[in-house]
């Protein structure tokens, strides 16, 4: 019997068959990043998973998940059955692959993994390549009407880039994953622009794109559409207005911050470029409601909890801006964990002015920053002592003990940290 994970927060346990597959994938390349398209292109061809349906690819440093969710909602509003692929997941693997707005079932995942295994032969695949191919296999089996795909890292050599996308959206370019993408925005921008295709729309939803993005788009002959030039978002009292090439849509969600408006504007520009932009009412509804989990996600309670996967410099700056705009009388208790390769000192310096109490936790995965070392960084950034918790769940318990009723608990940092806490709420 097919099993689909619940979406209302109830505990979920995968079937034994799926558990075995996920355990096997987790052992494929622990701690090792594998970039390149040769392996996955070979297997993708044998998998026969290409589809003649609209395919949209989203790249960028931050905001990719939000854009993929919004594009899914906008296409679904037109009756299109959408295959959505995102990464990483917060709680369980099913979050990565949705069809028609629903997480894929255990049985569908197992069938997809079996198809990938048959197609790969003796070709070695990484975890992300296996997951990406499984998503393509699911979409083919489910006969989706459109595919919306989030790039995992970079763009040019990311596994998602194996598909022939009909349009690409670039959210922004920041300093992240420098070990693999380069040490400058120019180098990173060039990698991310690798998803652009000749003659296809390349939508740039940032006002300060590196020159490398524009030069690469010109080199490949992509049809560039830029925020502030070919489309724009005008902030208005009571809402904001989107201006595209042929459409103007007013009264959009007033609660969007600048980053959210820019990203949403890019999504609308992509769909206008491929003639799939729905009517004004559908756009207004989707912009107001389509939000991925753990992006400034507020959980009611005493004290309330704010979840945000702010895990690099740009996303931490956005979190700080939100906390400054929404002060808490009792102050913020920050439960935070990060990976070892992140600019931790700069991130904590950003958060220090809006943090009253610090709790350091270690992220799960292959490269977490140890909690005791993180606590020392916290103390140096703020002059305040930091509590060390043995796990994200323990960090949440300590935060509830320390935070006054009129305060707020903020859980931020890497996906494994925020996901572990979200699973407990």
Is 2 a residue whose pLDDT tops 80?
A: no
For tokens 């939100």, the residue is 322
Question: Exposure string (b/e) for 111-122, b if CB count within 10 Å is 16 or more?
Answer: bbbebbbebbee
Is 197 a residue whose pLDDT tops 90?
A: yes
- Domain limits, the chain: 16-289, 297-422
For tokens 């921008």, the residue is 189
Q: What is the pLDDT of residues 13-32, one digit of tens each?
A: 778 899 999 999 888 864 45
Q: What is the pLDDT of residues 75-127, one digit of tens each?
A: 999 999 999 999 889 888 999 999 999 999 999 999 999 999 999 999 989 88
CB 84 within 8 A of CB 68: yes
Q: What is the pLDDT of residues 42-67, one digit of tens each?
A: 999 999 999 999 999 999 888 899 99
Q: What is the pLDDT of residues 371-424, one digit of tens each?
A: 999 999 999 999 999 999 999 999 999 999 999 999 999 999 999 999 999 988
Distance separating alpha carbons of residues 401 and 3, to the nearest angstrom: 37
Confidence of residue 425 (pLDDT cuts 50, 70, 90): confident
Q: What is the pLDDT of residues 283-318, one digit of tens each?
A: 999 999 998 899 999 999 999 999 999 988 889 999
The domains spanning 16-289 and 297-422 adopt the same CATH topology:
no
Q: Does CATH place domain 297-422 in 3.20.20.10? A: no
Q: What is the pLDDT of residues 232-282, one digit of tens each?
A: 998 876 789 999 999 999 999 988 888 889 999 999 999 999 999 999 999
The pLDDT, as a whole number, for residue 36 is 72
Confidence of residue 342 (pLDDT cuts 50, 70, 90): confident
Tell which CATH classification among 3.40.50.2300, 1.20.1070.10, 3.40.50.150, 3.40.1190.10 matches the domain 16-289: 3.40.1190.10
Q: CB neighbours (10 Å) of residue 221?
A: 13
Q: What is the 3-state secondary structure (H, E, C) of the chain?
A: CCCCCCCCCCCCCCCHHHHHHHHHHHCCCCCCCCCCCHHHHHHHHHHCCCCCCCEEEEECCCCHHHHHHHHHHHHHCCCCCEEEECCCCCCCHHHHEEECCEECCHHHHHHHHHHHHHHHCCCCCCHHHHHHHHHHHHHHHHCCCEEEEECCCCCCCCHHHHCCCCEEEECCCCCCCHHHHCCCHHHHHHHHHHHCCCCCEEEECCCCCCHHHHHHHHHHCCEEEEECCCEEEEEECCEEEEECCCCEEEEECCCCCHHHHHHHHHHHHHHHHCCCCCCHHHHHHHHHHCCCCCCCEEECCCCCEEEECCCCHHHHHHHHHHHHHCCCCCCEEEEEECECCCCHHHHHHHHHHHCCEEEECCCCCCCECCHHHHHHHHHHHHCCCEEECCCHHHHHHHHHHHCCCCCEEEEEECHHHHHHHHCCC
Confidence of residue 73 (pLDDT cuts 50, 70, 90): very high
Beta pairing partners, 168? 57, 202
143: its two tokens = 């006969």
CB 320 within 8 A of CB 354: yes
The pLDDT, as a whole number, for residue 1 is 47
The pLDDT, as a whole number, for residue 31 is 45
For tokens 């060390």, the residue is 388
Is 191 a residue whose pLDDT tops 80?
A: yes
């Amino acid at each position: 019997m097919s099993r689909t994970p619940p979406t209302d927060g109830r505990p979920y346990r995968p079937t034994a068959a799926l558990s075995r597959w996920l355990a096997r994938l987790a052992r494929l390349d622990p701690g090792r990043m594998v970039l390149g398209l040769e392996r996955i292109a070979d297997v993708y061809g044998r998998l026969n998973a290409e589809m003649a349906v609209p395919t949209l690819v989203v790249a960028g440093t931050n905001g990719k998940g939000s854009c993929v969710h919004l594009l899914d909602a906008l296409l679904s509003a037109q009756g299109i059955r959408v295959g959505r692929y995102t990464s990483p997941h917060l709680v369980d693997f099913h979050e990565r692959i949705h069809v028609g707005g629903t997480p894929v079932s255990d049985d569908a995942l197992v069938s997809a993994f079996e198809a990938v295994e048959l197609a790969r032969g003796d070709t070695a695949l990484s975890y992300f390549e296996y997951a990406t191919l499984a998503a393509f296999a699911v979409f083919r089996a489910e006969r989706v009407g459109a595919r919306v795909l989030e790039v995992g890292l970079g763009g040019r050599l990311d596994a998602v880039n194996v598909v022939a996308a009909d349009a690409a959206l670039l959210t922004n370019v920041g300093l992240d994953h420098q070990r693999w993408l380069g040490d400058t925005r120019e180098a990173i921008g060039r990698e991310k622009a690798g998803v652009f295709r000749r003659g296809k729309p390349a939508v740039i939803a940032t006002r300060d794109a590196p020159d490398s993005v524009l030069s690469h788009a010109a080199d490949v002959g992509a049809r560039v559409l830029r925020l502030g030039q070919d489309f724009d978002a005008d902030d208005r009292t009571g809402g904001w207005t989107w201006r595209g090439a042929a459409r103007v849509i007013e009264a959009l969600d007033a609660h969007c911050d600048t980053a959210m408006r820019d990203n949403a504007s890019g999504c609308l520009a992509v769909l206008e470029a491929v003639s799939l932009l729905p009517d004004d009412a559908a756009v207004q509804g989707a912009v107001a409601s389509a939000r991925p989990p753990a992006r400034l996600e507020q959980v009611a309670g005493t004290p309330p909890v704010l979840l945000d996967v702010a895990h690099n410099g740009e996303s931490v700056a956005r979190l700080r801006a939100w906390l400054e705009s929404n002060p808490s009388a009792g102050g913020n208790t920050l439960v935070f964990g990060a990976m070892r390769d992140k600019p931790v000192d700069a991130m904590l310096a950003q958060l220090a002015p809006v943090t009253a109490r610090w709790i350091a936790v270690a992220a799960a995965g292959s490269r977490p920053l140890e909690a005791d070392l993180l606590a020392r960084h916290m103390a140096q950034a703020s002059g305040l002592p930091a509590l060390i918790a043995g796990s994200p769940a323990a960090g949440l318990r300590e935060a509830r003990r320390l935070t006054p009723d009129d305060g707020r608990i903020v859980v931020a940092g890497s996906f494994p940290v925020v996901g572990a806490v979200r699973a407990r709420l």
